[in-house]
Amino acid sequence: MAQGLEVALTDLQSSRNNVRHHTEEIAVDRLLVRRGQAFLITLYFRNRGFQPGLDNIIFVAETEDAVYLDSEPQRQEYVVNDYGFIYQGNKNWIRPCPWNYGQFEENIVDICLELLDKSLNFQVDPATDCALRGSPVYIGRVVCAMINSNDDNGVLNGNWSENYTDGLNPAEWTGSVAILKQWHATGCQPVRYGQCWVFAAVMCTVMRCLGIPTRVITNFDSGHDTDGNLVIDEYYDSTGRILENKKKDSIWNFHVWNECWMARRDLPPGYGGWQLLDATPQETSNGLYCCGPASVKAIKEGEVDLKYDTPFAFSMVNADCVSWLVYGGKEQKLHRNTSAVGSFISTKGVQSDERDDVTENYKYQEGSPEERQVFLKAVQKLKAGKSQGPPGADAPPSSSTPLSGDSPQSLDIPSLRPGEVAQVSLKFKLLEPPHMGQDINFMLLAINVSPQSKDLKVNLSAQSLLHDGSPMPPFWQDTAFLTLFPQEVKTYSCIIPYFQYSQYLSTDKLIRISALSEEKNSLEKILVNKIITLAYPGIMINVLGAAIVNQPLSIQVIFSNPLLEQVANCVLTVEGSGLFKKQQRVLIGVLKPQHRASITLTTVPFKSGQRQIQANLKSDKFKDIKGYRSVYVDFGL
């Protein structure tokens, strides 16, 4: 009988395999392969050579590619691309925020695996946790809970207080690598601070690193429905000022989450593909702060009984909004808006720097019969779910508010268009683009389309908002008395000086202007509002010369103080995967009013291909003047 083979050495051919599996940017000295693709290994035997026909070698590798994405361009974008854009601003002014995902940077793969080992699931039952790691649904929920720190030593602490003295203002971050490396270096202590776009960006890094196709999604006018009835209630006083919501319902100016591509064998056929996952800690799911994966197809079709957390996801993109006037201890319904929530749902285009609008993936066209039918189906499913007992993660949260009858959320309220009551319409119009440091000029347009004259008293106000919809105290008020003859159009000009709004602004630079009009001898009231995002001039980045691997490269960064006052404590940060080994911090100090300056940095690119440079300038008066530049790095000789 022939002597058995003894393996002396196994050559995993890491360098060769990693190139074929697009993991060479992570490492070349250890094997990192992707599911569903062949790889080569070489075995060397100690006692004799391999004899075909006599010797048999059985090699067992179990893989199941539940995250396979058919399109090679999409695989390149959603798995391999290490930079992108996160869309912010408001629906009328959408701006791209550059971000360094950096999933292939040094030690990131080990940090991502450490993140899995720090999860509560692994701590409680390591064997079961590891056995389930082949499921992208399971991994998605674990990572989602670990990105925030509400239940564990997750990666990020959330903070919406505007007080960031013991950490970093979320607006200052430009990439995930610094966050993940800080979390690891401090013994897995949560990094301070994050808000929705930071949570989503870091989750994108982790999921792409683990080989799961992932993209970052921004939803403008995003609903946060706390009681699960698919209605957002907003309350205003007689000046038109939005009030702190006693129910904590809100419409976020924008909200950011992730989509991950995966099969959903736990759901009926047809609900695989893109799945919503939201790491921002808003509501609990099975006792933990995570959300999803919720099938995007299920959200569009109103199948809110399908797991996970689909009712909450549905409300973010397609809840109705009811506005209430609060006065004298009473509440008067102003109107119900069926299209106020969920618009311009955005993500970066595939292998493009352009914005891709994916709203139609989430909802039928607003105002269409299909959209209303889906909404009513979702409401009925939620009512049925509540009647069957206490809900869990796969059903809507409990609510003491009925969905029918005389409650504010009654579905038999007639649908009225905002600003159009009693044949008079109001509309705000900006007279020039709103730039930080300049006065805000706008006018109120009043149109009387009726055959009778109208005498109006209009209360106007302005207040800052956080991007999650939380109102701050009003800093400007005015009252206008308008007489409109039949078919007449009138304008009322307004100006808010810089010195009046500057000290009240939040980091989000959002101002809501509101007008509440009442007609003489009538109970009818008209409410109209507009959200303004103040713009900064961006940072300009110039690449001086050809970018070649292992060759010095000079980069010029041009920035300015846009304000009419001096700013201090200025710090410029610059980073870019494959271009800089770590984030660069340059202390600028003081910038005089409207002063323009530039610096030149020298770096040595160490990775070829398409790259992106991200820059941020902060001071004691602003935190997030940003800029970016795409650059192609040649491999050279």
* Sequence-ordered list of residues with C-beta below 8 angstroms from that of 225, at least 6 positions apart, any chain: 231, 232, 249, 312, 315, 316, 319
pLDDT for 243 equals 86
**Given 255, 290, 291, 335, the catalytic residue:** 255
Q: What is the mean pLDDT of residues 61-82?
A: 91
CA distance 64 to 134: 8
pLDDT for 419 equals 46
Active site annotation includes 196: yes
Q: What is the mean pLDDT of residues 560-565?
A: 93
Which phi and psi angles does 375 have, rounded to 5°?
Answer: -60, -45
pLDDT for 262 equals 98
**Given 112, 196, 209, 494, the catalytic residue:** 196
Region(s) of the chain under CATH 2.60.40.10: 424-533, 540-633
Per-residue pLDDT of 164-223, as tens digits, reads 999 999 999 999 999 999 999 999 999 999 999 999 999 999 999 999 999 999 999 999
CA distance 142 to 287: 13
Q: What is the mean pLDDT of residues 255-268?
A: 97
Q: What is the mean pLDDT of residues 590-615?
A: 97
Active site annotation includes 255: yes
Per-residue pLDDT of 483-529, as tens digits, reads 999 999 999 999 999 999 998 998 889 999 999 999 888 878 899 99
39-53, 75-89, 255-269: segment of lowest average pLDDT:
39-53
pLDDT for 1 equals 54
CATH architecture assignment, domain 540-633 = Sandwich (2.60)
CA distance 438 to 229: 42
Task: Retrieve residue 574's tokens.
Answer: 């610059």
For the chain, the farthest-separated pair of C-alpha atoms sits apart, in whole angstroms, at 110
- Is 72-384 a domain of CATH 3.90.260.10? yes
Instruction: Please say whether the beta carbons of 251 and 340 come within 8 A.
Output: yes
Per-residue pLDDT of 466-490, as tens digits, reads 888 888 899 999 999 999 999 999 9
Active site annotation includes 305: no
Q: From 307, 323, 312, select the one nearest 230 (Cα to Cα).
A: 312
pLDDT for 52 equals 87
pTM over 0.85? The answer is yes
**Given 227, 249, 278, 468, the catalytic residue:** 278
CA distance 364 to 370: 6
H helical segments located in 3-162: 14-20, 72-75, 108-117, 120-124, 126-131, 136-147
3-state secondary structure 334-386: EEEECCCCCEEEEEECCCCCCEEECHHHHCCCCCCHHHHHHHHHHHHHHHHHH
Kindly list the distances between the CA atom of residue 592 and the CA atoms of 65, 352, 412, 499, in Å, as whole numbers in the listed order. 57, 37, 59, 17
Numbered residues of the known binding site for Ca(2+): 318, 320, 366, 371
Q: What is the mean pLDDT of residues 275-292?
A: 90
Tracing tokens 């390591």 back to the chain, one arrives at: 126
Task: Retrieve residue 622's tokens.
Answer: 């602003």
Q: From 626, 577, 502, select the one nearest 105 (Cα to Cα).
A: 577
CA distance 555 to 630: 12
Numbered residues of the known binding site: 318, 320, 366, 371
Per-residue pLDDT of 525-553, as tens digits, reads 899 999 999 998 899 999 999 999 999 99
Percent of the chain exceeding pLDDT 90 equals 73
pLDDT at 399 over 50: no
320, β-bridge pairs: 231
CATH architecture assignment, domain 424-533 = Sandwich (2.60)
pLDDT at 259 over 70: yes
Confidence of residue 58 (pLDDT cuts 50, 70, 90): confident
pLDDT at 393 over 60: no
146-155, 340-349, 403-412, 465-474: segment of lowest average pLDDT:
403-412
**H-run or E-run covering 146:** helix 136-147
Tracing tokens 């500057």 back to the chain, one arrives at: 502
Q: What is the mean pLDDT of residues 35-43?
A: 88
Q: What is the mean pLDDT of residues 305-330?
A: 94
Q: What is the mean pLDDT of residues 59-83?
A: 91
